[in-house]
Structure formats: C-alpha cells, structure tokens
Amino acid sequence: MARDTLTGSRIRERRLMLGIRQAELARKAGISASYLNLIEHNRRRIGGKLLVDLAQVLGVEPSMLTEGAEAALIAALREAAADAGPKVAELDRTDEFAGRFPGWAEVLASNHQRISRLERTVETLSDRLTHDPHLAASLHEVLSTAAAIRSTASILAETGELEPEWRDRFHNNLNEDSRRLAESSRALVNFLDESDSSAERRGVPQEEAEEFFLSHSYHFPDLEQGQSSPKELVVAAPELVSDSARMIARGALEQYQSDAQQMPLKEVAQSIQSQGLDPSALALRFNVALPVVLRRLGVLPVDVLGQDAGLVVCDASGSILFRKPVAGFALPRFGASCPLWPIYTALQRPDVPLRRNVVQQGRSALGFECLAVAWNHGPSSFERDPLYHAVMLILPQSDVPAQAHPVGSSCRICPRQTCEARREPSILKEEF
C-alpha cells in the first residue's frame, strides 16, 4: 500500500493518541462523523484545506499525515528484514506497517540497531581474541604466572621438611607471583572492558560518539563562545564510555571549534540572512576553504541555516568518520554506503567542488541537493603522499528535480537491480 494512501490511518492513530472522539474531531474540522470514518479507514482521499484543518486540530504538520514515517525508519525496517534472512517479512508492506503502527516500527528498528551494536561488540572482542598481540602477551603472562605458582605450591606441599632459608624463598616467590598474576588479570580485564561504570556498553566507539553529538543536537554554544574546551566537554559526557569514543569525540569537537573560530555563528547568520545559502560566497566572505564552509553549515541550528541539513565526512578508504543524519536520507549504520554518493565522486577529483541533485530510491523517493568536496587532510610535502578526506552537505528539496541522480543507502536494501555499482544482491524487488 502506497504511503499516501495511509493518511486516514495516521489521522486515526493521532486522534486516538490524543484521546479525541471521532465525532469531536469531525465537528472541529467541519465535516460529518460518517465522512471522517471513511477517511480514517482509507476509503476516501484527503487533501487541500480539509487536510490542513485536520492537521491543525491534531497539532501536527500536514506532511506528517501524508508522508508518515520517515524514509530513515523505512530503511531501518528493511535492514532488519535483510539481517533476518530471506522470505521472512512482507517487504512490499513495509510502508504500511510503519504507517499503521509507527510506535511498533520504532521499537523494531531500535531493537535491531541495539542487536547490531551487540553483534559488533562480539565481533570486536572476537577479533581481539584472535589477532591482538597485546591480548596474546597478557594471556601468556597470566598462564605463565599461574604455572609458576602451581609449581611452587607443589614443592611446598609435596616436599618434606624444608630448610628455613628455602622455605622463605618459596614463600617469597609465591607472594611475588600471586601479585603479578593479580596485576596481569586486572590489566586484562580493563583491556577487554574499558569501563565498568556503564549500565549498557555500546561496544562500538563510533556509536558512543554519535550518541554524544545527537544529545547536543550537534551544536555546542559553550564551545563557540570559548566558555568550555573539547577536553572538558568530553570528560563531562556520560554518553562517552570508552577511551576510543572519547578520542573520536574530542577530535570532532576540535574540528568543530576550529571551524567555529573561522566562521563565528553571529556573522554566519547575518551572511545567510542577507546573501542566502551560498557556500562559495561564504568561503569568500570568511576567507576559508570550502570544506570548512560545508562542515560549518552542516552543524548549524535550523533557525540559523533556515532548513534541516545532513553532513557526512569520510576518508580516502570511504569509511565514514562523521555523520549527521537528515530526515529522508537513509545513512546505513554499518557496512559500506552507496558508492554513487557525490562524496565518493569528490574523492576521485580532489579540490573540485561538486553539486549534485540526487534522489534516494524507494517507493516514496525524496530529493536532495548534495554539495561535496575532497581536500588534503595533512600538510603537503614532497616526502609524503596526500591524505584525502571528503565532506558532503545534504540539503533536502521540496521537489525531486527531473535530472536527479538515483542513489541508494546500501546495496542490500536498494531496489535498483540493474545498478552498475552493485556489490551484492538486494532483498527488494526492482519495482519496490
């Protein structure tokens, strides 16, 4: 069932959530209760003034009734279906499920994300057990010390009366070996579990850093005004459990602080208000490089930028270093992203700004304007190769341009079966 045919179901769900009787809602909207009943059962199309009136009574934007669940939630449900295996879910009814039961859809998607985090934790620990040289050395130290204690204890237990000098020497060896065993065991535990103060370890440092930035809505006024430092923010953040997550968050905050110093918030707001959202003009106005402008625009508050925006930063391997989601543009939490994203094209053409209109494939395709550029992240030198990073600013569009480039989220949930960039089969049908 198409997303726009579920408007009535969303009206009914919203009305029940607010505790409004059907007759009362019909009276406030100026229609009969019987006609509202037909609408709520998706037997009558709705739009125009009536849709606006109903949305006003229900206290939501009209788009929330017509569009329902965001594309990101739909993508999360499809990822959950993909991980569950083939032919276990009705993929052609994903939109209907999310539209009729948005709460349950959120629960399913969040549980799938939590399970994915736990699986990544297991994979990380398994990798450590298999390949980490520090862990191997620690285990060898623990086993060697335990064997030494066992040998010394056996001598003391099985040998007859020992001379006082030898007995004291063995007791001293036991004391030293047991202390070393305790220290090695404690270090090993700390290595496997970097913090015992968290009620629920996320396991993946990038997840912790993203949770930290999300809790602040990607905006740090104290950092911009010089009232705090990246180190202080990281130390005070309860979301950052592991040392790796703190390192990632601190690096991102230092980049944020540097960009904010080059482009102060008040002056940026004035420039956008007077000249509009023009990254090239802003780069000239503040005498900064385009990557600084795109990074700065991507984390500005909505009331300053004038619209929502997403942001993705990656390195030359294509690994995402920083991500700020935007409604409708699905960003995979794990695994490789769509290779057709403009940010990856920018890596092939360093220092060349790219502007692309894209549309993410799906039943309710949405349009976005993507601005991307790659730059040499390290200092230039004859002795070293360039280390390129790339940034992409994602701006939602009200309409899908006719020449928009089709892109996906990840191959597993992209319906374009004939895509030349496909790496693995999709679980979705071409027409989905």
- Each residue's pLDDT, cut to its tens digit, for the chain (432 residues) gives 444 556 787 788 778 878 888 888 988 888 888 888 888 887 887 777 788 888 888 877 676 676 655 566 777 777 787 777 666 667 777 777 776 777 788 788 878 877 877 777 776 666 656 666 666 777 778 888 888 888 888 888 777 777 888 888 888 888 888 888 888 787 777 666 654 444 444 456 888 888 899 889 899 999 998 899 999 999 999 888 888 889 999 999 999 999 999 999 999 999 998 888 999 999 999 999 999 999 999 999 988 998 889 999 999 988 889 999 888 788 876 567 888 999 999 999 999 999 999 987 654 567 899 999 999 988 888 888 889 999 999 998 877 777 888 888 887 777 777 788 888 877 665 544
Rounded Cα distance, 361 and 411, in Å = 11
Rounded Cα distance, 268 and 278, in Å = 11
- pLDDT for res 45: 75
Task: Work out the angle between the directed axes of helices 7-18 and 33-40 (0-180°, nearest 10).
Answer: 120
- pLDDT for res 198: 44
Phi, psi for residue 49 in degrees, rounded to 5 = -65, -40
Three-state DSSP at 316 gives coil
Rounded Cα distance, 396 and 368, in Å = 4
Rounded Cα distance, 293 and 290, in Å = 5
Tell me the two tokens of residue 31: 């229609």
Rounded Cα distance, 392 and 325, in Å = 12
CB 28 within 8 A of CB 62: no
Q: Please return the burial class of 180, using the count of CB atoms within 10 Å of its CB with bins 0-12, 13-18 and 19+.
A: middle
- pLDDT for res 202: 46
CB 326 within 8 A of CB 332: no
Rounded Cα distance, 340 and 358, in Å = 10
Contacts (Cβ under 8 Å, ≥6 apart) of 6: 42, 68, 95, 96, 99, 100
H or E element at residue 174 = helix 164-192
Strands 310-315 and 320-324: antiparallel
Tell me the two tokens of residue 55: 């949305």
DSSP at 367: E
In angstroms, what CA-CA distances link 308 with 230, 326, 328, 381? 25, 7, 11, 38
The alpha carbon of 123 is separated from its chain's Cα centroid by a whole number of angstroms, namely 19
